[in-house]
Chain A
Amino acid sequence: MSSDESKPTPEVELIDAVRAARAEGEIERADHEALLALALGDDVAEFDDDERERAESLRDALEGQGDHPLAELAEALRCAVGGRVIDELSHERVVQVAFRRATMQDAKVTRGAWRLGIVMGGVAAAAAATLFVFQPSAPPLSARRTTTVFIASHSTVSLFDAQKALPRFGGESSRIDRIAAVRDKQWRANRFASWGVR
């Protein structure tokens, strides 16, 4: 902040002067005491027991005993000066926590995709099983000319290139679309197979 920037313009000073002339507010006690202290010295400035108590409480807080709201500000000022370093142990803990959190986030995405795949696989298998069991008009197996082969429920692993690692970010929607499309196709195939029209 340059001194030129912080200096009010003559217009601002005039506005402040007009406002001050119209204002009926009183000077705050602390401000007044500060002015008195400047003029007369701090030892003659007036302070009551309540203020002394608060000052003592702040003193204790600054020395690490107890809390005081102003101690937080004092700490912020100390931090702004700089020069403080993080100790190695605390830093290592922060690094480990961050890596764990990042790993957990990765795992959450992967788990979500797998869960959806498993659920869809289960639905497809259940649908296939239902069709297989409850088909009143289906001809007896012995009457079929060819043996019906159903596509069994299976893992989604085969749908993706095992050699290629899944990207860390993005592509979830397209992977889920792919799983859904393949499952849908297989379910239809099984249904047609059970009807003997495949």
Chain B
Amino acid sequence: MEWAVVGDGGVGPAGPLGLSARRVAAMVWGTVERSQQTTSDADHTKGGDPETDLQREERQLCAAAQGGDRQALGTILRRHGPKLYRFVLLPRLGSEAAAQDALADTYVRVVERFSTFEWRGCGVYPWLRVVATRIALDHLRKRKRELLFEPEDLERALDAAERDSQEGIDEALCHARDRKDARSKLDGALAEINERYARAIRLRILEDKSREEAARVLEVSVPTFDVVLHRALRALKKKLGGAPPESEGES
């Protein structure tokens, strides 16, 4: 199916690249060739950096998807979905199964709401990140087990993601912020427990060292390291508001 983006002449909020956000307002279906696009690249820039090929392609994909082209929407999801999984969903939901469920829900929401998306020059990722964060928050509220992140953390993250989306923050900065958010939450939790316990967790869980290696660093025997790690995780769970240690084995 051939398509073309027609300019509406509107001037939307300009992102960091100085791109007009409302240039992709209307979509026509028909037999117009791509080469007949009525808007030139220069029309999409307003004194800032020129639009890159990737951004131009993404803008066109977004316009097509908003016109109902599911293949275009599929391309967008295949491009950005793995990043949503890695930086937004998995760190906050804490399990691969939960993150995949949330990713599926994110996609359904995106399919439903893509017509409301407004191009802001910085790409579609910041908008997708807001949707994914909102879904993660919904999932976290339904969960009963204790995890690193609380719904309140995600409410704050959602506010920040919405602000980033409004301000046209680019994708790399979004990733950096999500990474920093997860890291500081993790460091904050580990700072709450005994330093030696935190070290055991870092070695075995976060750095994925072998039991033998971790035991050597802590200068204990391997069976003792198992007990130390068990105590360390139990202490962390307690600090995170989990079940009392006595019921841990049976819960």
Residue with the highest number of chain A CB atoms closer than 10 Å, among B77, B91, B96? B91
Which among B90, B191, B211 is the interface contact of A84 at CB below 8 angstroms? B90
Of B1-9, B43-51, B234-242, the one contacting chain A is B234-242
Q: How far is the CB of B77 from chain A (nearest CB, A)?
A: 6
Question: CA of A77 to CA of B104 in the docked complex: distance in angstroms?
Answer: 22
In the bound complex, do residue B82 and residue A59 qualify as a contact, i.e. CB atoms below 8 Å apart? no
Which B79-105 residues have a C-beta within 8 angstroms of A? 81-82, 85-87, 90-96, 99-100, 103-105
Main secondary structure on B side of the interface with A: helix
Q: Which residue of B lies closest to A34 (CB)?
A: B194
In the bound complex, do residue A91 and residue B82 qualify as a contact, i.e. CB atoms below 8 Å apart? yes
In the bound complex, do residue A79 and residue B230 qualify as a contact, i.e. CB atoms below 8 Å apart? no
Question: CA of A52 to CA of B99 in the docked complex: distance in angstroms?
Answer: 33
In the bound complex, do residue B233 and residue A74 qualify as a contact, i.e. CB atoms below 8 Å apart? yes
In the bound complex, do residue B220 and residue A94 qualify as a contact, i.e. CB atoms below 8 Å apart? no
Residue with the highest number of chain B CB atoms closer than 10 Å, among A37, A80, A95? A80
Residue with the highest number of chain A CB atoms closer than 10 Å, among B74, B183, B224? B224
Q: How far is the CB of B128 from chain A (nearest CB, A)?
A: 13
Of B118-126, B163-171, B243-251, the one contacting chain A is B243-251
Q: How far is the CB of A1 from chain B (nearest CB, A)?
A: 5
Chain B residues positioned under 8 Å from A84 (CB to CB)? 86, 90, 96
In the bound complex, do residue B205 and residue A101 qualify as a contact, i.e. CB atoms below 8 Å apart? no
Which among B82, B223, B237 is the interface contact of A86 at CB below 8 angstroms? B82
Chain B residues positioned under 8 Å from A77 (CB to CB)? 94, 148, 186, 201, 205-206
Q: Which residue of A lies closest to B194 (CB)?
A: A34
Question: CA of A81 to CA of B149 in the docked complex: distance in angstroms?
Answer: 13
Which among A70, A80, A91, A105 is the interface contact of B185 at CB below 8 angstroms? A80
Question: CA of A70 to CA of B230 in the docked complex: distance in angstroms?
Answer: 8
In the bound complex, do residue A58 and residue B226 qualify as a contact, i.e. CB atoms below 8 Å apart? yes
In the bound complex, do residue A82 and residue B91 qualify as a contact, i.e. CB atoms below 8 Å apart? yes
Question: CA of A86 to CA of B111 in the docked complex: distance in angstroms?
Answer: 20
Contact with B along A3-27 (1 / 0, CB 8 A): 0001000000000000000000000
Which among A38, A43, A78, A102 is the interface contact of B196 at CB below 8 angstroms? A38
Q: Which residue of B lies closest to A69 (CB)?
A: B251
In the bound complex, do residue B86 and residue A54 qualify as a contact, i.e. CB atoms below 8 Å apart? no
Chain B residues positioned under 8 Å from A76 (CB to CB)? 94-95, 147-148
Q: Which residue of A lies closest to B116 (CB)?
A: A169
B188 contacts partner chain A, Cβ-Cβ < 8 Å: yes
Return 10 A-B CB contacts under 8 Å, by A number. Answer: A34-B196, A41-B220, A57-B249, A62-B205, A73-B240, A73-B242, A75-B94, A76-B148, A80-B91, A95-B77
Query: Which 8 residue pairs of A and B lie closest in terms of their CB atoms, listed nearest first?
Result: A76-B94, A98-B107, A55-B230, A102-B111, A70-B233, A55-B226, A55-B227, A42-B220
Q: Give 19 new A-B contacts, CB below 8 A, not counting A31-B235, A91-B78, A92-B78.
A: A1-B184, A1-B185, A1-B187, A34-B197, A43-B221, A50-B249, A52-B226, A55-B226, A58-B229, A70-B234, A75-B95, A76-B94, A78-B205, A79-B95, A80-B94, A84-B90, A86-B100, A86-B103, A94-B107
